[in-house]
Every structure is written in C-alpha cells, then in structure tokens.
Amino acid sequence: MIEISHLTKRYGDFTAVNDISFEVRPGEVLGFLGPNGAGKSTTMKMITGFLAPTSGTVRVCGHDVQAEPLAAKARLGYLPEGAPCYAEMTVRGFLEFIADVRGLRGERRRSRLDDVIGRLALEGVLEQVIETLSKGFKRRVGLAMALLDDPDVLILDEPTDGLDPNQKHQVRTLINAMARDKIIVISTHILEEVDAVCNRAIIIADGRILADDTPQALAARSPSGRLDEVFRSITQGARGTPPATDAALEAAAHA
C-alpha cells in the first residue's frame, strides 16, 4: 500500500504540491492526471524518495520514505520523467549495473535480467550504447530498469510520452499485464490512456486533488460521457491550462 498524508512541496513561496492525501492499494492502477505544471512529477518524486517533502509523509508498504528510505525504495520501481538512463553505457551494462545497485545476485539476478530483457524485447540492442537508441527503445530500457527487481509498487512518470502509437500500445499492454498484483501509479495527460489502463483516476491541478474516482464515474459527470470534457471543466483556470472556454480561446487568438 502507498499512504500519502498531507504531502506538500514549496519552492520558495511557490507551492507546487499543496496538502495532498490519498492511499493506493494492490490491484489499483492509478492514473495521475493533470495539466502541465499541476504537480504530478513533484508528487511522484516525493513518493519515491527522490525529493524531500516540505511537510507531510509518504509510506510505501509500511515504510516511511524519509525515515526508512532503503526499505521503502527496495519495494519501489520508478520511471522518472523523461526516462533518464546513463547514455554512455550499453543496455546490458546499464541493466547489470542496476541489478548490482539493487543487490540482485546469483540465479535471481540472471532470471530477473532475462525477464525484463524478454518482456521489453531488448535482446537486439543489448550491446548498443544507450544514447544511440531510438526514443522508444530508451523508454523501454527505463521501464526495464523500473521492473528489474520485480517491485510491489511501480511509479511511472509519463511512461508513453513521446512514443508512437505502436509503442504506446506496447507499453499499455505491459502495464495491463502487470496490474493484477501490483500497485501502479502512472502520470499522464493522455486521457485515452486512463481508459486503457487505469481503474482509478486522480485529477490534480495547482498542486491539489480535484477528483478521485473510477475513469467511468468521472466520464459520467459529463452529459456527453467524455473524460476530456470532465477534465477540462474540472481543471478550468488552473495553471498550465488555456483560457476557460473555446470562445475565450477564439478571442485570445484574435486579440
């Protein structure tokens, strides 16, 4: 389980994440939705212990991320925003390095490496230097890193951002295949993705939670049953969103 309590992050007098609380349980695939700048990545960085909160706490599988960072991180897999990897390493070298960092040894090390290499179809690029890979392959290497230790909790920050439709489909299929026994949190601003993989959606804007429901129940809030319309009306006026209405957009375009 992930337990997030009154989580807040301030940069100077700017509040990026503002008193957020929620829990996520095994079997939940939580879509973390919000306009650019809403505070999704900042929240994920605090869940994974990458960034210290200004106040509030995060517990991962019972471990406080600040007080027991190693115990919490041992249960987590994290794909950071943009899926950064060590660009000058080969795919094999990078994954072996991550296996060492995670303390994998012997037969389990071999079988976990084989599993992620197979699952993400990396056999053909193992000896290639990461910086020479296409964007889709780089993302797959990042996902392989996140999955290597078979974590109970997966935090994926825009896992399909910048991928082509086929690659997006592959990543969604992968997430669906893992969803049953894990906790998965994915951030996205692609609403169709929420429909495709999530059984719960939190909409966040200006660092606050504005909605927390199933994608179906959220969509049903609009007469048209369309999630994008609900998203627009809920996040209207928040930072990172365009003027409120199409008419206002028109007016802005002709100003």
Ligand X SMILES: Nc1ncnc2c1ncn2[C@@H]1O[C@H](COP(=O)(O)OP(=O)(O)O)[C@@H](O)[C@H]1O
Considering the complex, what minimum distance in angstroms separates the CB of residue 177 from ligand X?
26
212: left (phi over 0), alpha (psi -120 to 50) or beta: beta
Name the binder of 160 from ligand X, Mg ion, none, CB < 5-8 A by kind: none
Considering the complex, what minimum distance in angstroms separates the CB of residue 8 from ligand X?
12
Name the binder of 36 from Mg ion, ligand X, none, CB < 5-8 A by kind: ligand X
Q: Which residues make Cβ contacts (< 8 Å) with residue 199, sequence separation at least 6?
A: 27, 28, 29, 179, 214, 215
Q: In angstroms, rounded to a whole number, what is the distance separating the alpha carbons of residues 45 and 51?
A: 5
List residues binding ligand X (CB under 6 A). Answer: 11, 14, 16, 34, 36-42
**H helices of the chain, where?**
40-47, 69-74, 91-101, 106-119, 135-147, 165-178, 191-197, 215-219, 227-235, 246-253
Site residues for Mg ion, window 75-134 (CB under 5 A)? 81
- Convert residues 42-81 into a mask of x (bound to Mg ion by CB under 5 A) and - (unbound): ---------------------------------------x
Considering the complex, what minimum distance in angstroms separates the CB of residue 39 from ligand X?
4
Residue 41 touching Mg ion (CB under 5 A): yes
List residues bridging with 205 in a β-sheet. Answer: 208
Q: Which amino acid, 91?
A: V
Q: How many C-beta atoms lie closer than 10 Å to residue 178's C-beta?
A: 16
Considering the complex, what minimum distance in angstroms separates the CB of residue 196 from Mg ion?
19
Name the binder of 166 from ligand X, Mg ion, none, CB < 5-8 A by kind: none
Q: Which pair of tokens denotes residue 83?
A: 């899926």
Q: Closer CB to ligand X, residue 3 or residue 81? A: 81
Instruction: Using CB under 5 A, list all residues that contact Mg ion.
Output: 40-41, 81
